[in-house]
Amino acid sequence: MKKLCVFICVFALVSCEYFNVKKTSSEAILNEELKTFNWIDVDEYPSVSACDSISGRKQRAWCFENAIVNHITKHLQREVIVVTRDVNDTIFLKFQVNREGHLALLETKLDSTTLDEIPDIHKLLSSSLENLPKIYPASKKGQLVTTEFSLPIIINVK
């Protein structure tokens, strides 16, 4: 009988652990959900109002990139750039559009010859971003997100 009482007491103490309910906070659920996101791909790419009428994700992305490249190219064409040698280069610009829709130039990859011939190229590129049309940020699962992308700009100065 004594062994039975000890067994029941031990069983009662050990079995209590099976009835504990683990509470999961909303923050823990959110962190688990965030781990499953594909952060490389967004649901809606950044956009400008000129691209509102275009349907299709890839077409809207192309429209946005084209609008940025055209804006920068037109700005550079209005500038008076004097060079001693012809410059024919493709500059790769890395941009970031934050959650508020602000575009920032993060990185510029260009040939050293272009930099020698146009030493203020970084200033020209930065000033070309000042009068951009309003940019609508990218979204992922209904949330506005920061995105980065690269665009080529062709420089041809004679």
Tens digits of per-residue pLDDT, 68-105? 999 999 999 998 888 888 888 999 999 999 999 999 99
Tens digits of per-residue pLDDT, 119-153? 999 999 999 998 899 999 999 888 899 999 999 99
Q: What is the average pLDDT value for the chain, to the nearest integer?
A: 84
- pTM comes to 0.72
Residue 26, φ and ψ in degrees, nearest 5 = -65, -30
pLDDT score recorded for residue 16? 58
Q: Taking the C-alpha atoms of 117, 119, 120 and 121 in order, what is their torsion angle to the nearest 10 degrees?
A: 60
DSSP letter, residue 94 = E
Could you tell me the residue ranges of all domains in the chain? 2-36, 47-157
